[in-house]
Amino acid sequence: MHELSIVMSIVDLATKEAAKHHATAIEEIELDIGCLTGIEMDSFEFAWKQGIKRTILENATKKVNRIEGKAKCSDCNTHFDMLQLYDSCPNCNSHLAVIISGKELKLKSLVLPD
């Protein structure tokens, strides 16, 4: 389950950012997770509950923004929604596409106590 390693990386990054501001807790964390990352959200939620125990994120509110997959066909320049990583262009059926969004995995913001 790679979701647990992702959660542990988020915990590590959030802990380091909080330490820069001498914070001992985080009130809220906001994440951007693209639909094309391959992250299984049910597994991520399970891993999150286990991974944040006894960490600076244990009592934090978590907000997840799901970023939709968008692509541009390299053959006909059609912009289209991409539900899976290897979806073909709906206009010409080409599989050559540039992914515009949906692969994000980003810690967007942290809210620290006053």
pLDDT at 35 (0 to 100): 96
- Residue 75 inside a domain? The answer is no
- For 48-65, the pLDDT digits (tens) are 999 999 999 999 999 999
Residue 10 belongs to a domain with what CATH number? 3.30.2320.50
- Residue 41 inside a domain? The answer is yes
Q: What is the mean pLDDT of residues 73-86?
A: 96
- Residue 87 inside a domain? The answer is no
CA–CA separation, 72 vs 81, rounded Å?
9
Q: How many domains does the chain have?
A: 1
* Three-state secondary structure readout of 15-50: HHHHHHCCCCCCCEEEEEEECCCCCCHHHHHHHHHH
- Residue 56 inside a domain? The answer is yes
Structure tokens at 53: 């125990």
Q: Is the pLDDT of residue 78 over 90?
A: yes
- Residue 91 inside a domain? The answer is no
Beta strands 28-34 and 61-67, pairing class? parallel
- Residue 31 inside a domain? The answer is yes
Q: What is the pTM of this model?
A: 0.89
Q: Is the pLDDT of residue 1 over 70?
A: no
- Residue 74 inside a domain? The answer is no
CA–CA separation, 38 vs 40, rounded Å?
6
Structural domain range at position 37 = 2-68+102-111
pLDDT at 92 (0 to 100): 97
Of 67, 66, 68, 55, give the one whose Cα is nearest residue 19: 55
- For 86-109, the pLDDT digits (tens) are 999 999 999 999 999 999 999 999
- Residue 36 inside a domain? The answer is yes
